[in-house]
Structure 1
Amino acid sequence: MLYPTLRPIRGATLLLTAGLLAACALPRVGPNKSEIFAGSVLREGDAFVLTVDDRVNAIAAVAPALGFSAGFLNAGELGADTIRAGDTLGLTIFENVDDGLLVPTGANATAIEEVQVDAQGFIFVPYAGRVRAEGNSPEALRRVITERLAEQTPDPQVAINRLAGDGATVSVQGAVTAQGVYPIERPTRSLIPMLAAAGGVAVEPDIARVTIQRGDQRAEVFYDDLFASAANDIALRDGDAIVVKSDSRTFTALGATGAQDRITFESRTISAIEALAQVGGLSSTAADPTGVFVFRNEPEEIAEQLVGQDVTGPQRVVYVLDLTRPNGMFMARDFAIRDGDTVYVTEAPFVQFNKTIAALTGSLSAANGVQDATGL
């Protein structure tokens, strides 16, 4: 009995270890349900925490719409062979007189070769003057020149053909079979035939998005929607840029799921149930099915409908899904995931309890090992 005051160390080990565990947070995948609810505006937080029901589903399912503005939808089709600045034309003029304005004596026609359309869209024709060519078809230009020459020579005949230049063109880029610059011709005066001329989309049609850039106007539409209405097969204009790309929308999955990752949308729409399935579902050993949350920034107009009060600007909203409720799976099936959402699943309470016990047991074993080694 040389050191009687050191004998109680074994009994004190449990209290010491428990105190250390209380002072040090155990590792976990993220916040628990209580901590998330503590961030509610009802508890002086800055997020609206809402339990998902049929009303919430109907409001939250509204997503930014893609489609064409009236400027695109109301544009008429261009002619099959529209002339543009920079084109080179060839003119042949016939006169029914012996001493014509342009036709040499003894000939019945004269050729005016390589007449270039200037930057302002005009050409010059002797005795007809400066004539606007850009925006006209060769047939329309022929009529204009004929009318002007008829004022000075009886019954002139004019033939026009394009020697160089593609007329009105569009560029087709991105996820198509054959990218390139294509002329607007009779079969390709609208969007769907032009995409077909480029070989069609090279990604799954369900996730293909088509963007049209026309000057300072821009519009985007899902590829499948082009076939939902004839109006969506819009007329093309010279200089249009058509870009096809895969859907770039993503959501993030965190917490007690089969995988934690940033996931790309694999279909036009995706529900909360489908989102969980894409990451392997709930972890069977860790997940709390009453604690499935979706974090989202909602625009002002949707947030006001959800909370029933005036708000200013976008609002942080946390949607709560309880899969154990009688209709919980249906609510999750009907809840639409949107671009940028974070899907988070909390750990079940017993998981943290097990971690505490495991840490406690390990700490006691370590402490006892030290004590045995020292002989105390």
Structure 2
Amino acid sequence: MKFVVLTLSVGVAGCASLPNSGPTRKQIERSVLESNAEVPIRLVEIKTGADIPLTSSNTMKPALIDLPPPPTDMIGPGDVLDINIYEAGVTLFSNAGGATGSGGQAGQLVASSGVQVQKLPPSRVDDNGDIMIPYAGRLHVVGQTISEVEAIIRSSLRRLSQNPQVLVTLNQAITNSVIVSGEVVKPGRLVLQTNRETLSDVIALAGGYRGTAKDLTLRIVRRNENVDIRVNDLIETPALDVRAYPGDRLMLINNPRTFAVLGASGRVDQVPFGQSSVSLAEAISGVGGTNPNLGDPAAIFLFRYVRDEQGNEVPVAYHINMMRAGSYFLAQKLAMQNKDVLYFGNAGANQPSKMLQLVSQLFSPILTVTAGVQTVQNGK
């Protein structure tokens, strides 16, 4: 009997330090009020529809400015040009690789009948935006269109040749292109044929994306600025699907969205989004809800960072009491976001339950032994 009393005393004394799955609702509210002034935490009670934060689809603005499309034949560094020069009468060029007639010397003007054409070797625009034309020298063509380059070459040869005509075509387009990489079927350089192709058009022209749209992020690098857009948001929000601009670099990244589940729930885990959008109600049910032995349905919290009007990240704790019938409707409207923390508060009244469980575990072997002894005695 002394052993039983001693064991019970130890067990009861240990109840003060019974393990918890996390803080209770009152403990969280108290810690929020006592939070450091340098990192203040906002506590928002979800009681009406006005308390629900706006979803990304309601607040999302175009991440990039929809720039007006430049001319599709604008010349820039790296472009390769094919140049043909047509001459009639007195010619400066000829098909003979610089020979100007029988017994003539290169560079001499020669009268000939008909029209002669000289195809120059492919001319690559250098880093300074220049090309070299025989007899005309170095010409600056960057930022010019094909027709403007033809006019520049024709003007430079006018005093050297009799009414030369110039035809320029784009052999390799570097300026009027974008680089597509990552989770696409055909990564590489893609020439914009119309300069009106949108971001989703570029993905389609690259063979489409690989994987699931809800797990993909499109990263656009434009003029030293990085912008990330979820592919699902790109599909569902047309305002985000702006035109690609020459020089853009687009990368599709496999970046699944997840939220963490902590506290007294049926499952403590990092949970991926099962679909493009997940409500708080779906998140709660997906992880098994509140643990009936440990949790408090009135103490469900959603922790996330929210940007204020100045663009600063502010920690916000949303509290919803699922003991109210109206909360089940509100939970269907509150959308989960990437990296959210869903916390199920520990029930403050579960300590007596734990103590009873402990006492039951302590006495269970004794009761079993006692029952066995009585059985033996009765058998005698």
TM-score range, shorter chain: 0.7 to 0.9
Question: CA offset at residue 354 of structure 1?
Answer: 2.6
Q: Which amino acid aligns with 1:102?
A: F
Stretch of structure 1 that moved more, 285-294 or 210-219: 285-294
Post-superposition offset of 1:153: 3.7
Q: How far apart in 2 are the matches of 1:75 and 1:35?
A: 55
Taking structure 1 as the reference length, the TM-score comes to: 0.77
Structure 1 position 133, deviation (Å): 3.1
Alpha carbons 1:287, 1:348 under 8 Å: kept: yes
Please state if 1:101 is matched with 2:92.
Answer: yes
Task: State the alpha-carbon separation in 2 of the partners of residues 128 and 226 from structure 1.
Answer: 50
Q: Is the 8 A contact 2:200 2:234 kept in 1?
A: yes
* Residue of structure 2 equivalent to 1:329: 328
> Displacement of 1:225 after TM fit?
4.8
State the AA in 1 paired with 2:91. G
The aligned runs of 1:62-101 (5 Å cut-off) are: 65=60, 67-70=62-65, 73-79=66-72, 81-97=73-89, 99-101=90-92
Q: Say whether the 8 Å CA contact 1:66–1:220 is kept in structure 2.
A: no
Q: Distance in 2 between matches of 1:157 and 1:300?
A: 62
Once residues 125 and 346 of structure 1 are traced to their aligned partners in structure 2, the CA distance between those partners, rounded to angstroms, is 77
Name which of 7, 10, 28 aligns with 1:17. Answer: 10
Q: 2:97 maps to which residue?
A: none
Aligned to 2:351: 352
Q: 1:203 aligns with which of 201, 211, 220?
A: 211
Residue identity opposite 2:121 in structure 1: E
Q: Deviations over 1:210-266 (max 9, x none)?
A: 22102312223333554544783314213x210123454332111232321112334
Change (3 A) 1:17 1:302: farther
CA distances 1:139-172 after superposition (whole Å, capped 9, x unpaired): 4322322233335544321123445565533211
Q: CA deviation at 1:175?
A: 2.0
1:291 is displaced (CA, Å) by 1.7
Aligned counterparts, 1:66-215, within 5 A? 67-70=62-65, 73-79=66-72, 81-97=73-89, 99-103=90-94, 104=100, 105=110, 106=112, 108-163=116-171, 166=174, 168-186=176-194, 189-215=197-223
Which residue does the alignment assign to 1:317? 316
Aligned residue in 2 for 1:294: 302
- Calculate the TM-score normalised by the size of structure 2: 0.76
Partner of 1:57: 51
Q: What number of residue pairs does the alignment pair up?
A: 349
CA RMSD after TM alignment: 3.7
Whether the 8 Å contact between 2:69 and 2:195 is mirrored in structure 1 is no
Asked whether the equivalents of residues 13 and 367 of structure 1 are also in contact (C-alpha less than 8 Å), the reply is: no
Deviation (angstroms), 1:92: 2.1
Quickly say closer, same or farther: Cα 1:363–1:235, change in 2 above 3 A. Answer: closer
Deviations 1:3-34 (A, max 9, x none): xxxxx7368437623542244x1123212223
Structure 1 residue runs of 5 or longer lacking an equivalent are: 1-7, 304-312, 371-376
Instruction: Pick closer, same or farther for the CA change 1:122–1:315 going to 2, 3 Å.
Output: closer
* Alignment check: 8 A CA contact 1:88 1:116 kept: yes
Mapped pair 1:36 → 2:31: no
Q: 1:337 to 1:109 in 2, by over 3 A?
A: closer
User: Who is 1:373 aligned against?
Assistant: none
Cα 1:205–1:340 shift into 2, 3 Å: closer
Q: d(CA) in 1 for partners of 2:191 and 2:148?
A: 19
CA distance in 2, matches of 1:33, 1:17: 29
Q: Is the alpha carbon distance of 1:40 and 1:205 closer, same or farther for their aligned partners in structure 2, counting shifts above 3 Å?
A: closer
SS in 1 for 2:351: helix
Distance 2:176 2:3 in 1: 91
CA shift for structure 1 position 60: 6.2
Question: Using the alignment, how far apart are the partners of 2:229 and 2:201 within structure 1?
Answer: 16
Change (3 A) 1:179 1:277: farther
Task: Map 1:202-241 onto structure 2 (within 5 A).
Answer: 202-226=210-234, 228-229=237-238, 232-238=241-247, 240-241=248-249
2:259 matched to 1:251? yes
Contact 2:262 2:341 in 1 (8 A): yes
